[in-house]
Copies of this chain bind each other. A is one copy, B any other.
């Protein structure tokens, strides 16, 4: 496959991962991220709650040469809204805190993403705010983690550098890996939105039954639940089963009384 064919292929909506900048702070960095993406043929960008609002003139100035990536970018109220339709999401973190999730190198992650995308899945990669990076709650909504194997004593990569390395690995995998055989039909994965909905329902039921007690432990307990159901992608059948379980357990005793 020639580089040009590869690049054409890489910019079709169906055959590339979506990059999601979560609460990005500086417009300059958003623009630099656009350039880094387009350097490797990626142009599907989403912005979750950009700090300085949208549009951002500084982002436009910095994106020069990759302006169409910015023009096509969609803006979302928060991280959950930005990934609602995605089936598999990777969270980039400098230091893997979530040891209960698979930690991929950028190379392994983009190899994995390539197989999923070729199987018809909608895949996304989360990048955190410049200063703080992704919060634990952001990571909890992802299925896997991407950590750049940098120098442990100097691992600090800026946002555009992290986007650049991930985009570079995507293109490297996409142009060097022969298509693998996989049946999209058999997957039937649930999108993040329906997963969020059933987990929210579960949390509401538990809330009503004073599960999150004492209250200071609440956040950790909610996180444990999210992690428990984010470890692997859930299928539509899984989500239906979960709804059934929640309804039955919550209403079961009443039924028995009938």
Contacts and interface: CB of A to CB of B under 8 A. Distances in A.
Contact of A153 (B7, B148, B202, B242): B7
Contacts of A224: 237-238, 241
Q: Which of A99, A187, A227, A228 has the most CB of B within 10 A?
A: A228
B249 A65 contact: no
Contact of A154 (B38, B102, B256): B38
Contacts of A137: none
B228 A242 contact: yes
A4 B149 CA distance: 11
A180 B253 contact: no
B105 A205 contact: no
Majority SS at the chain A contact face:
helix
Contact of A165 (B41, B111, B168, B231): B168
Interface residues of A, number: 81
Contacts of A107: 172, 179
Contacts of A104: 179-181
Interface stretch (A18-26, A115-123, A208-216): A208-216
Contacts of A251: 209
Interface string A80-100: 000000000000000010011
A183 B233 CA distance: 20
A211 B100 contact: no
Nearest to A179: B108
Contact of A150 (B39, B99, B105, B211): B39
A206 interface: yes
Q: Pick the most buried of A107, A177, A249, A250: most chain B CB atoms within 10 A of its CB.
A: A249
B165 A248 contact: no
7 contacts: A4-B152, A35-B154, A149-B175, A151-B171, A161-B164, A211-B245, A228-B234
**Which 6 residue pairs are nearest across A and B when measured between Cβ atoms?**
A209-B252, A249-B249, A232-B232, A231-B232, A108-B179, A41-B151
